[in-house]
Amino acid sequence: MTKTLDAPPAATARRRKRFNLTRWAQGGGLHAVLFAVPVVLVYVYFSWGPVIQGLILSFQKTNLVQPAEWVGWSNFTYVLADPGLVQASLNTGYFALLALVFGFPVPIILAVLINELRKYDTLYNALAYLPAIVPPVAAILLWKFFYDPDAAGMFNTALGWIGLGPFPWLNAENSAMSSIVLYATWAGAGSTAIIYIAALATVRTELYEAAEIDGAGIWRRIWHITLPQLRNVIFVMMLLQIIGTFQIFTEPYLFTGGGPNNATQTILLKIYNYAFVNGDFGAATALSVLLAAFLGLLSVAYYFVTKRWSTT
């Protein structure tokens, strides 16, 4: 009895240990490996590898000619001591804040309004999405022209009709960043609105009916039903927007190049300048790592805060 009871586990253990190549290949293992090869190669070279390399590079000094040498934390101390970093961080934070306060509600309002259409809603959708199709480089060239600070400039002419302006737009320190936010809102609102519209379709209509029977007006229904029902999507979109705005590059690079007087200098512009203007890849990766760590901490904090809000 004991003999038969003891035997099977030992046998299976030995069988598992002995790896049978032909059986493994016949069971589909070979195919799985063949499918994995391109995937793993591409991810190792262009995704996982660079992330690890970035962490390593931030502790090294390299100029691509001599072999890299370890320099400890000096890249970090160099980057943190850079007098321009405070300004760039403040600018980036200011951009994120402006985009959050003025830009973020736009697609939500757009989505709620479009969702109430009973006819032509595809026309509205398509029109709203159009700016997302236009390549940013082309759009920025156009907007740069629209932002002409001259009184005959496009926006200034239009605002002149109602007695406003002329505004300096990108040419003044205190309005350059807001001008970029205005452009970014135009460029991004439509595609975000489409996501909200998809989310609005999942709001349970019984809730509206119940609220209506209880005598809630249209505004109160939006405030107490639509927005709370969209809560989770709003939280995710807000986090994605914050992460995106902290990594803003193309817009300030092409609109102002960081000027006037560094008013639109952002962290990513600094990273770009470290790496591709000064050739200091160590400093560039150190600042990248700092920014990524900050965004990671921000995401974790955000996750816990919003988790509490979304359960209560």
Partner 1 sequence: MSVADKLLKAAPAITAGEDRPQPPARRGPRRTAEPKDRGVISASDRKRPAVKAWLRIVQTILLVVLIVSGLGPLLWAAKASISPSNDIVSDPMGIWFSPNEWGNLLLAWNGARIGQSLGNTVILALGSTLSTLIVSVAAAFLLSVLRPRWGPWLSGAIIATLFLPGVVSFVPLYLTILDMPLLNVSLQDTFWAVWLPAGASAFNVVVLKRFFDSIPREYMEAAKIDGAGPMRILTMVVLPLSRPILGVIVLLSVVGSWKEFLWPMLVLSNPDLQPVSVMLPRLATGNSPLSVQMAAVFLTIIIPVVLFAIFQKQFLRGVGTAGGVKG
Write out the binding residues for partner 1, residues 133-172 only, by CB under 8 A: 133-139, 141-146, 148, 152-154, 157-158
Q: Mask: binding to partner 1, 69-108, rule CB under 8 A, as x and -?
A: ----------------------------------------
Judged by CB under 8 A, the residue of 82, 124, 165, 178 near partner 1 is: 124
Which residues on neighbouring strands pair with residue 70, listed in sequence order? 60
Judged by CB under 8 A, the residue of 85, 100, 195, 238 near partner 1 is: 195
Q: Does 48 bind partner 1 (CB under 8 A)?
A: yes
Query: Cβ 300 to partner 1, closest distance in Å?
Result: 10
Q: Does 233 bind partner 1 (CB under 8 A)?
A: yes
For residue 304, count other CB atoms closer than 10 A to its CB.
9
Query: Cβ 3 to partner 1, closest distance in Å?
Result: 32
Query: Cβ 7 to partner 1, closest distance in Å?
Result: 26
Round the CA-based radius of gyration of the chain to a whole number and report it: 27
Query: Cβ 282 to partner 1, closest distance in Å?
Result: 10
> Distance between the two ends of the chain, CA-based, in angstroms?
59
Judged by CB under 8 A, the residue of 74, 93, 235, 273 near partner 1 is: 235
Residue 97 to residue 104: CA distance in whole angstroms: 10
3-state percent helix, strand, coil for the chain, nearest multiple of 5: 75, 0, 20
Q: For residue 184, give both structure tokens.
A: 């970014």
Helix, strand counts (H, E) of the chain? 17, 2
Q: Are strands 60-61 and 69-70 parallel, antiparallel or unpaired?
A: antiparallel
Cα dihedral 213/214/220/225 (nearest 10): -80
- At which residue do the structure tokens 């995710």 appear? 236
Judged by CB under 8 A, the residue of 117, 164, 277, 305 near partner 1 is: 117
Judged by CB under 8 A, the residue of 20, 26, 122, 261 near partner 1 is: 122
Query: Cβ 291 to partner 1, closest distance in Å?
Result: 5
Of residues 259 through 278, those in contact with partner 1 by CB under 8 A are: 268, 271-272, 275-276
CA distances for 179 relative to 107, 141, 159, 247, angstroms:
18, 14, 15, 17
- Of the candidate spans 5-13, 76-84, 162-170, 247-255, the one that interacts with partner 1 by CB under 8 A turns out to be 247-255
Query: Cβ 108 to partner 1, closest distance in Å?
Result: 13
